[in-house]
Amino acid sequence: MSAVSDLQATLDPSRKSWVESANQPANDFSIQNLPFGIFSDSTNAARRAGVAIGEEIVDLAALQAAGLLTVPSNAEVFARDTLNDFIALGRAHGAACASS
């Protein structure tokens, strides 16, 4: 399956997430709506990129550091306090990161 097909499959309203709160009808961040954003937490004050899912945030910088996201030239685009460098990679790289 291609990266585009994988991404389109997430739009299927019958798909469920492993994050229980994302499966609640009133939750804005279901598997069909995963917004990128910048966050920090109490264990690491550094601002970095994440994706909201249910009532949780997936730390994209941690996934990249663990080798679970592939980014061209291994640029640490998710460890920054803006999404500018990630967005500058273009749509094709965003889809490739999502399917890693």
Enumerate domains of the chain plus CATH numbers: 3-98 (2.30.30.230)
The structure's pTM equals 0.73
Q: Is 50 helix (H, G, I), strand (E, B) or coil?
A: strand
Maximum separation of any 2 CA atoms in the chain, in Å: 39
Q: How are the residues of the chain apportioned to helix, strand and coil, as percentages rounded to the nearest 5?
A: 35, 15, 50
| pLDDT tens track, the chain, 100 positions | 555 566 677 778 788 888 888 888 888 888 788 889 999 988 878 899 999 998 889 999 999 889 888 787 768 889 999 999 888 888 765 554 544 4
